[in-house]
Amino acid sequence: MTQKITPLIAGNWKMNGDAGSFLEVEVIKDHLAANEVNAEVVICPPATLLHRVSVALSESVAKTGAQNCHSAASGAYTGDISVAMVTEAGGEFVIVGHSERRDGYNESNEDVRAKAIAALEGGVVPIVCCGESLEVRESGKAIDVVVEQIIASCPDFTNEQELVVAYEPIWAIGTGKTASSADVDEMHNAIRAALVKRFGEQGAAIKILYGGSVKPANAKELLGVENVNGALVGGASLKADDFWGIISAA
């Protein structure tokens, strides 16, 4: 069931970043130019910085993405951005269904699926997030809940399109706590099996990222787990040295 997949290391800056962040982008760019890396690298800054970061990385192998998008092409959606706007700003990826949006903005699996469909139709790779709360983890139902969430949130896609999945246990996000390798292994295998059941061969090639307090110190171990095909990195993506430490562990 497993096949060789190039890992994806995606940095999610969340609502962080300013003009000074470009120094960090330049450092990453220099590292990528000077070293061979075994990973695809994506930076997802806030929407206001997406174009500038895309321009800064235009000569680099690193790509950019947005942290969210609307499912509609345009219209009266104050504060939102469309997939076409992401593309125009240079973004090639978009994070959809992050737990901070599911919880903070009541985004349902259906909402996330609609955004992922809009992304795919607009030629942007959706990074579809899933993950359980501490309560669910302690109830012993984490695998059932996460598998149901991801299958309901992922739309069908063609062989010409790409879809990425990110598993982020909510209790590990920004807390310094990470899931154990054994728990990550169990969850990623369950997600892989569900994706293969749903999508067949396409499901075997979907990148499944792990997110939740990934740091240079734990990256090698987490990225070495079967069916962990990269990382979705929050806090540690804000500092070039930390982000590079994770990229080079892939």
Residues contributing to the annotated binding site for substrate? 12-14, 174, 213, 234-235
- Residue list for the binding site: 12-14, 174, 213, 234-235
Backbone angles phi, psi at 67, to 5 degrees: -95, -5
Q: How far is the CB of 146 from ligand G3H (least distance, A)?
A: 15
CA distances from 164 to 18, 206, 228 (A): 27, 6, 12
- Least distance from C-beta 98 to ligand G3H, angstroms? 6
Q: How far is the CB of 10 from ligand G3H (least distance, A)?
A: 8
Has 168 been annotated as catalytic? Answer: yes
Please, which residue, 187 or 233, has the CB nearer to ligand G3H?
233
Q: Which amino acid is at 215?
A: K
d(CA 132, CA 167): 9
Cα separation values, 26 from 18, 30, 197, 217, 240, Å: 14, 6, 42, 23, 9
Residue 51 known to be catalytic: no
The residue ranges that bind ligand G3H (CB under 6 A) are 12, 98, 168, 173-174, 211-214, 232-236
Instruction: Report the DSSP pairing between strands 164-167 and 63-66.
Output: unpaired
Q: Of 174 and 224, which has the nearer Cβ to ligand G3H?
A: 174
DSSP secondary structure string, 4-45?
----EEEEE--S---TTHHHHHHHHHHHHHHS--SSEEEEE-
**What contacts 48, CB < 8 A, 6 or more positions away?**
none
Q: Smallest distance, Å, CB 101 to ligand G3H?
A: 11
73: tokens are: 């092409």
Of 133 and 202, nearer to ligand G3H (C-beta) is 133
- In the complex, residue closest to ligand G3H by CB: 234
Q: Which is nearer to ligand G3H, 16 or 161 (CB)?
A: 16
Of 98, 107, 132, 188, catalytic: 98
Residues with Cβ within 8 Å of 144's Cβ and at least 6 positions away in sequence, in order, are none
Choose between 155 and 211: whose C-beta lies nearer to ligand G3H: 211
Beta carbons within 10 angstroms of residue 133's beta carbon: 15
Residue 154 corresponds to which tokens in the numbers above?
Answer: 């992922």
Active site residues: 98, 168
